[in-house]
Structure 1
């Protein structure tokens, strides 16, 4: 795929500056920034040159601007800055052609061609419900998978299930005490059992020891214990798959910690050789220099059972052997930062050079979403409530004649889910945020429904206008507002690359809001001036060009929303 229109012009401007100054383009690359929209598209400050040239920055800028010629860019000096602005043509036709030729793939590229990225995300524990807080890992991970695929990477998405450990012993012994045999395949019942067993284990050490003993039996390959584990695991997986199907999330691999049962001894033996192991209070730990008060990396407890860290080390080695990854991303909450720092440190100490390619993609917490009893809020309950709240509004709008749809339930599901997803992904992933129903469901402001409405509005305009004509004259799109929409569209490929590089889906969210706002400004011009309407009367050539711009906006919005896993309704 060729470089994007935006990148191509930026590169040409950097190279022209470099040639004029007699320096390598790489020296100027980081100095060329987006300009203030009133002055252009790219800007180069001349302050750093003043000392060497013994001239005032404005004089340097004036001289540079006069000597630089870049086809398709108007280059001018503005005080100490050299600014470059897209010329109306061929920029306009190039942007529209790029969107039309790439369609749903617009925004993507090929920087990841021939490379593999492993993304570990979602990762709930079996025999526990998928709670609302799982939305963060699941949808951030899903967006990152989409972004990397769009850039040509081979994505190996792994849902690394917590299906091994003492918590399963709690479910097993809890079922012996509180379970109803007739409901053993009912996920909701398993959750009830787990909650009761967990409370009892906290209050009764003997019951907690029974759970530990059951897990020891699992690790010793006791057939009866493993049969019960497999049955409850399958029940959980069926429930998980139903929820993931609703979210529109698919994984290349559904693997649990159990996948590494029986595969950890060779890893422990390797660590024993380098960097070494030692015993501490009966437990086996990695022999590393630890900071003051830093807990050591445990490989085995004093009862011989393995831990999360042991299984993660085995998993990392296995994933590199299977996928030969160029990047491995762990989309896990920030409170696991120490675990991942230590994981990567142990791998490096083992001589695994590829540990440098592993990154903990940490994220903040969601506040404001809990019941009065303080219980865990189930993700399905939140999705159901979002749908119910939206359905009420959809039905009101249908009755008022403001909306037409043959599937009110389906539309409410799309809008409700879009609201929840965008409400999460618009935030920088590293920050905490507070969930608020009124905020996420609003049709106005920085919300998913607002963006879905913007997409539906472009579809509606195209329907009314009879679609995009086969031919049109891009040079007729000369209004400043039209050019602002085109500039926003042109930026998407750059934003996609930055979002993938920094593992930050919120960049796409902010770009979507920018494009929707620019199109809204443009579309409403016709309220004051009929000649500026998209569906302008008595001027077919201008109408044809404006329909082409509307279609490019539609395609770009659809591409951005799809990268975030958000549906694109054509009617709202």
Structure 2
């Protein structure tokens, strides 16, 4: 935990005042969240309600009684020591203001010692085996903007779990099997099309799907094709392999632009045989029942009334998406023995995953409670000049062009440096803007994407994070001062420096909260405030042209700020820029 010694000092003071052990009090001590305009050094606080609960179990106090209780506790701390400047109380917290010089010394000293590990929560609990499935586009369809959230959220969760030391396997589970391919193949055959790209395949699929809705014979033909696929028809499978390879190649290009990497590419096709085997096994155990319409179903109702059930096979015997999902989950547990598996899929699929997890439990897999649906809302208003069908490649290209225009228009303002690879910087900024705009909101919220707001360099945006990181890099590069880890931090007495140091001390809390809640916005909001504090400090804490000892202390502060900003950005899936 950041500034462990300071927390132990406060715990000792409270322990002596009320007779509880330091071990009981230590978990209750946290850093206070400071307002930007609040003049204060480092501040730690103890929850009054939690403290009273431990000392007086079962006792419930009103706000006025809590204030009296807090006052009695504070009054007993008659010798706060050389580190605590003063003590304040209200109905929620007892707050301990640490003397600024001591506080700065401790925090920057801990960052020096921890290096790249600073802010990473430490736990004695064993590390977990985690599976994260995300992105999962359907082959023969371009990477749609609808897949954006699954992709960036899944990568964030992967990065966060790996940062905390867990053993993570990230899986891209392609939709590469099912009736939709039969519809596409029927459309290709009707148009006699043998040469195609992913975008042309999308056009064929849209037309074929429309025809399947009004033409019963066409729909029957599509189902026959899928039936042949499941039976191993080589002509159909050859076409399927060609389309799958083309799709994966196109997706890989988009993933590279987004900075996304997977440990494993998989797909529904991998489980077509095991899904059939599973269905056969369940028939033998009488768990699977035949419905009136000829489909194979499992009753999930608690009273056997069939009020809730899942269908595992159509009347013609072909498998369904959920059947292949069941087979995939079972195979993954056998292979990885995971502690948790997360499906990062939009909230419209809640019923599907509820049925999946209940079915796993129904057929005897007691590890089903390790499977979780991490749902999210929709992106609204994410369109380009190219039309209403929104492809992610177009979105990235649009963002890149916006940033190129901004960079070229700002050449004379010193906002952007002249000696940079404009194409690379513009694309990195555009991708950062897209990701951070997504992460500003709670995952389950729908949100409206706004181009102008996302691409600003002076608001709460990905561009602002990148600009601040590049500015810090520029300070370290151009100041003419060498980084000295033993710099005299007692010289950092300005309020702007103390505010910034205090926020650095909150980094571990932001990481821990993001992990507990599975919410990227916790880190994003932390980084936004960090960048605002850096901007304020930058105007006051000059490095260049300052006496060496003071310049070294300020440079050390900015260097540590850059390291923490960089760590946070990388967890989000951004590539920090050193020049722009």
Normalised to the residue count of structure 1, the TM-score between the two structures is 0.90
Partner in structure 2 of residue 521 of structure 1: 536
Partner in structure 2 of residue 330 of structure 1: 343
| 1:401-454 superposed Cα distances (whole Å, 9 cap, x missing partner) | 543233111111111111111111121111110011101001121101111111
Partner in structure 2 of residue 82 of structure 1: 94
> How far apart, CA to CA, are the structure 1 residues paired with 2:391 and 2:113?
43
Aligned mate of 1:421, from 435, 438, 456: 435
Displacement after TM superposition at 1:16 (Å): 5.7
Aligned residue-pair number: 559
Cα distance, 1:372–1:198 mapped onto 2, change above 3 Å = farther
Cα distance, 1:157–1:23 mapped onto 2, change above 3 Å = same
* 5+ residue gaps, structure 2: none
Matched, 1:41 2:38: no
Matched, 1:283 2:286: no
Displacement after TM superposition at 1:15 (Å): 6.8
CA contact (8 A) 2:384 2:394 kept: no
CA contact (8 A) 1:332 1:360 kept: yes
Normalised to the residue count of structure 2, the TM-score between the two structures is 0.89
Matched, 1:250 2:261: yes
Displacement after TM superposition at 1:543 (Å): 1.3
Matched, 1:506 2:518: no
Cα distance, 1:539–1:275 mapped onto 2, change above 3 Å = farther
Partner in structure 1 of residue 198 of structure 2: 187
Aligned mate of 2:218, from 172, 187, 207: 207
Displacement after TM superposition at 1:351 (Å): 3.0
Partner in structure 1 of residue 505 of structure 2: 490
> How far apart, CA to CA, are the structure 2 residues paired with 1:476 and 1:300?
73
| 1:74-121 superposed Cα distances (whole Å, 9 cap, x missing partner) | 562425542223443554244334444555554334547642110000
Once the two structures are superposed, the pairs formed by residues 263-412 of structure 1 within 5 Å of their partners are 263-269=274-280, 271=282, 276-280=287-291, 281-289=293-301, 296-370=309-383, 375-398=388-411, 402-403=415-416, 404-412=418-426
Matched, 1:568 2:565: no
Q: More deviation in 96-105 or 411-420?
A: 96-105
Displacement after TM superposition at 1:496 (Å): 1.5
Partner in structure 2 of residue 479 of structure 1: 494
Displacement after TM superposition at 1:519 (Å): 1.2
Displacement after TM superposition at 1:381 (Å): 0.3
Cα distance, 1:425–1:387 mapped onto 2, change above 3 Å = same
> How far apart, CA to CA, are the structure 2 residues paired with 1:512 and 1:438?
21
Displacement after TM superposition at 1:508 (Å): 0.9
Matched, 1:460 2:474: yes
Displacement after TM superposition at 1:355 (Å): 1.6
| 1:331-372 superposed Cα distances (whole Å, 9 cap, x missing partner) | 000011111112111222233222222111100001112469
Cα distance, 1:490–1:303 mapped onto 2, change above 3 Å = same
Displacement after TM superposition at 1:560 (Å): 0.9
Cα distance, 1:25–1:226 mapped onto 2, change above 3 Å = farther
Displacement after TM superposition at 1:460 (Å): 1.6
Partner in structure 2 of residue 63 of structure 1: 75
- Aligned CA-pair RMSD: 2.9
> How far apart, CA to CA, are the structure 1 residues paired with 2:460 and 2:329?
38
Cα distance, 1:105–1:207 mapped onto 2, change above 3 Å = farther
Displacement after TM superposition at 1:534 (Å): 2.2
Cα distance, 1:233–1:482 mapped onto 2, change above 3 Å = same
Aligned mate of 1:233, from 244, 247, 259: 244
Once the two structures are superposed, the pairs formed by residues 9-24 of structure 1 within 5 Å of their partners are 9-10=6-7, 13-14=10-11, 17=14, 20-23=17-20
Cα distance, 1:473–1:324 mapped onto 2, change above 3 Å = same
* 5+ residue gaps, structure 1: 527-532
